[in-house]
Chains A and B, each alone.
Chain A
């Protein structure tokens, strides 16, 4: 394996973990847009407790992907951030508002009921959680449809709009949102098990969003450029992967119906993880179609190898700390 492929694999792993962790944080926030009825406050508290201690750590996976992209594939980073300036800026506004609004709403822990401010920030948090995944999906979708490159200067040729303002990126955006909402509902149903009524509320939402995932997946496939459709359907690895993804999806739904919540959580994670891997394999060997391949945009070897070493050493420190964080906050929630 070449060093650039190793780094691209690390980026894929980080993207999968980001989707499974931060994606669910976004999904949890998005469900609060629809929090209503007599148990709205309990829904808010559940989401608060679920993401409070961990969302900042989960968020760092995205930073890791971006940093590795600009360090190891600088030409691709420059092209992406030039042509997709607008959706990336919208995503950033969402990221900034989501994190800040969550911290603000949380600061009013024992909210005075006459004070509208905490409610207002909780609302901003929910809406930002709803919009940010869409912009993230638009960006990833635009990478698949492709960017044009000037062969002489290696700089992107773009009108800053047409690459992303198209049906396919928006379909991917909706798909990402449904996927995140599905993950969050499955996690929350599992984490609320000590409160059967609340847990069941999210179990039903998980089933509802599972059907939305299927619908938007179909929409995405239909909106995809023919080349991508072929790539998703025909290549040697594709059938096996999609079959496994489909089985995981069916397993998640069946387990949800039978109230096997912990197992449903694992099946949903497998399903979503495989979807991200499937997207990456359909992209391979491109970072951005059609000119920016992993090999062609890689930084010199003298940069890549030390970064790989740093990633290895960093993981030695990071992984135990991360496991400790989740054991402290998630193990107890689930025992209770």
Chain B
């Protein structure tokens, strides 16, 4: 394993791990606040128990998210010092603001988790809303910084390579920022809603009719379904944006080689990078031209327009994109079924539907991980699109496989422990709170 590959692997692993916990930290407060507000309105103890049980799980997830996020802010420098020396000042604004948002999130979470008996019910609910808002803000700022790596603006390079005219606001509100923020925050609520609904569906299969898990299932599924159904809108915005700003990434996502008009959408298939063609794909005529530019005759640039050393690994990006879209579509279908059952006044706890929900539980998480693979691998070989190559950003430190292996082992142990703890102390717990 080369040092560059080890550095990329460590970064990818750390991000993939952190994202799971960051999503939970952002989305669970919405579920807890909804349950607690119901309790304050109707006085049903079950809702309070639900908020407290969810809070107990969130406490574990948030702690691991906080420390793995800290690790990431250091890893940016430990692995990519030349990237940070260049980009630090330009994307400093969203990172500084993220610091404050995360600070508020930690403060409100401390009050929320430990303050049930110490502050008034109203103040407690307010703290929950504070966790929710600062969590979303914190994610939005980080996404602005990532978006800048895709569409770097807000600076000029002098002839000698030094930075001049840095404008932190232009950099923060870069062209990709809005679509990335919308697409990922909505993804987090959809993914967490489905995962939580799936867990409670599993418990309902074991304990049919349990009122606690029924209430939990209803709330989580409602949140997951709403965001799963809205998500294609933000996805469409994101795709049109990539088509306009990162044509080579779009071409890799679609496995599209030859620049042409009237381009079909290719579903599935295998992009072969030696013969430069995508085989076995199901083609929908005019699909890509329409989806990318809103015009069935639009010209879409193909991978052959770009020199091979400027192309991302096509197969990885194409397959990851297919997985993301397929998971998203499946979640929408499940959400539609749930909506139908509810409109018809049918029982959401029918065993066949519970089994479907259990099967759908990981879909959102898979979609998020696949989506990040698309955006990060799709930007390669650049760490900052068109400005700095990943291989020029890596640290000169040798033997990077050692920290990669160490962090992988560490996160593996933490991941297994979290799953065990959640299973024993949160999902299957018998005590009321």
List the interface of chain A (C-beta within 8 A of B). 52-54, 56-57, 59-60, 62-64, 66-68, 70-72, 74-75, 77-82, 85, 88-89, 92-93, 95-100, 102-104, 106-108, 121, 154-155, 160, 299-300, 302-303, 306-307, 310-311, 314, 317-318, 321-322, 324-325, 328-329, 332
Q: Do B66 and A329 have beta carbons less than 8 Å apart?
A: no
Q: Do A70 and B403 have beta carbons less than 8 Å apart?
A: no
Q: Do B100 and A53 have beta carbons less than 8 Å apart?
A: no
B421 touches A (CB below 8 Å): yes
Which one of B78-86, B241-249, B277-285, B373-381 is at the A interface?
B78-86
Q: Do A81 and B88 have beta carbons less than 8 Å apart?
A: no
Interface residue SS majority, chain A: helix
B401 touches A (CB below 8 Å): no
Distance in angstroms from B107 CB to nearest chain A CB is 5
Q: Do A88 and B95 have beta carbons less than 8 Å apart?
A: no
- Give the residue of B93, B407, B414 whose beta carbon is less than 8 angstroms from that of A100: B414
Q: Do B84 and A82 have beta carbons less than 8 Å apart?
A: no
Interface residue SS majority, chain B: helix
Distance in angstroms from A162 CB to nearest chain B CB is 14
Q: Do A74 and B110 have beta carbons less than 8 Å apart?
A: no
- Give the residue of B108, B118, B397, B421 whose beta carbon is less than 8 angstroms from that of A104: B421
| Chain A residue, CB-CB nearest to B118 | A328
Given A302-B168, A306-B169, A307-B168, 13 more pairs with CB closer than 8 A: A56-B62, A57-B107, A72-B92, A74-B89, A77-B77, A78-B82, A78-B84, A81-B74, A81-B78, A96-B414, A307-B92, A325-B111, A332-B118
Distance in angstroms from B139 CB to nearest chain A CB is 15
Q: Do A57 and B82 have beta carbons less than 8 Å apart?
A: no
Distance in angstroms from A301 CB to nearest chain B CB is 9
A176 to B74, CA, bound (A): 21
| Chain B residue, CB-CB nearest to A57 | B106
Residues of A within 8 A of B81 (CB): 77-79, 81-82
Q: Do A92 and B70 have beta carbons less than 8 Å apart?
A: yes
Interface bits B164-175 vs A (CB < 8 Å: 1, else 0): 111111000000
Distance in angstroms from A91 CB to nearest chain B CB is 8
- Give the residue of A63, A78, A155 whose beta carbon is less than 8 angstroms from that of B77: A78
Q: Do B84 and A328 have beta carbons less than 8 Å apart?
A: no
Residues of A within 8 A of B115 (CB): 53, 328-329
Q: Do B110 and A70 have beta carbons less than 8 Å apart?
A: no
Q: Do A63 and B70 have beta carbons less than 8 Å apart?
A: yes
Residues of A within 8 A of B108 (CB): 321
Distance in angstroms from B400 CB to nearest chain A CB is 9
Distance in angstroms from A123 CB to nearest chain B CB is 14
Interface size class of B (residues with CB under 8 A): 35 or more
Q: Do B88 and A63 have beta carbons less than 8 Å apart?
A: no
Q: Do A74 and B86 have beta carbons less than 8 Å apart?
A: yes
Given A81-B74, A310-B93, A299 contacting B166 (CB threshold 8 A): yes
List the interface of chain B (C-beta within 8 A of A). 56, 59-60, 62-64, 66-71, 73-78, 81-82, 84-90, 92-93, 95-100, 102-104, 106-111, 113-115, 118-119, 130, 163-169, 395-398, 403, 406-407, 410, 414, 417, 421, 425
| Chain A residue, CB-CB nearest to B163 | A300
Given A64-B103, A82-B395, A317-B104, A53 contacting B111 (CB threshold 8 A): yes
Q: Do A107 and B421 have beta carbons less than 8 Å apart?
A: yes
- Give the residue of A59, A77, A78, A303 whose beta carbon is less than 8 angstroms from that of B70: A59
Q: Do A57 and B64 have beta carbons less than 8 Å apart?
A: no
A180 to B322, CA, bound (A): 52
Q: Do A60 and B106 have beta carbons less than 8 Å apart?
A: yes
Distance in angstroms from B19 CB to nearest chain A CB is 16
30 A-B contacts, Cβ less than 8 Å apart?
A53-B113, A57-B106, A62-B70, A63-B69, A63-B73, A63-B99, A67-B95, A67-B96, A70-B77, A72-B92, A78-B77, A79-B81, A81-B395, A82-B81, A96-B70, A103-B59, A107-B56, A121-B417, A299-B89, A302-B165, A303-B93, A306-B93, A314-B100, A318-B104, A318-B107, A321-B103, A324-B111, A328-B111, A329-B115, A332-B118
Q: Do B406 and A103 have beta carbons less than 8 Å apart?
A: no
Distance in angstroms from A16 CB to nearest chain B CB is 16
- Chain B CB count within 10 A is highest, among A53, A85, A307, A332, for A85
| Chain A residue, CB-CB nearest to B63 | A103
A332 to B115, CA, bound (A): 12
| Chain B residue, CB-CB nearest to A98 | B67
Q: Do B92 and A66 have beta carbons less than 8 Å apart?
A: no
Q: Do B417 and A104 have beta carbons less than 8 Å apart?
A: yes
Residues of B within 8 A of A62 (CB): 70
Closest A-B pairs by Cβ, 3 of them = A71-B92, A81-B77, A103-B63
A77 to B104, CA, bound (A): 25
Q: Do B88 and A71 have beta carbons less than 8 Å apart?
A: yes
Residues of B within 8 A of A311 (CB): 96
Residues of B within 8 A of A100 (CB): 63-64, 67, 414, 417
A60 to B69, CA, bound (A): 11
Q: Do B63 and A81 have beta carbons less than 8 Å apart?
A: no
| Chain A residue, CB-CB nearest to B89 | A299
Given A107-B60, A322-B107, A324-B111, A85 contacting B99 (CB threshold 8 A): no
Q: Do B167 and A74 have beta carbons less than 8 Å apart?
A: no
Distance in angstroms from B396 CB to nearest chain A CB is 7
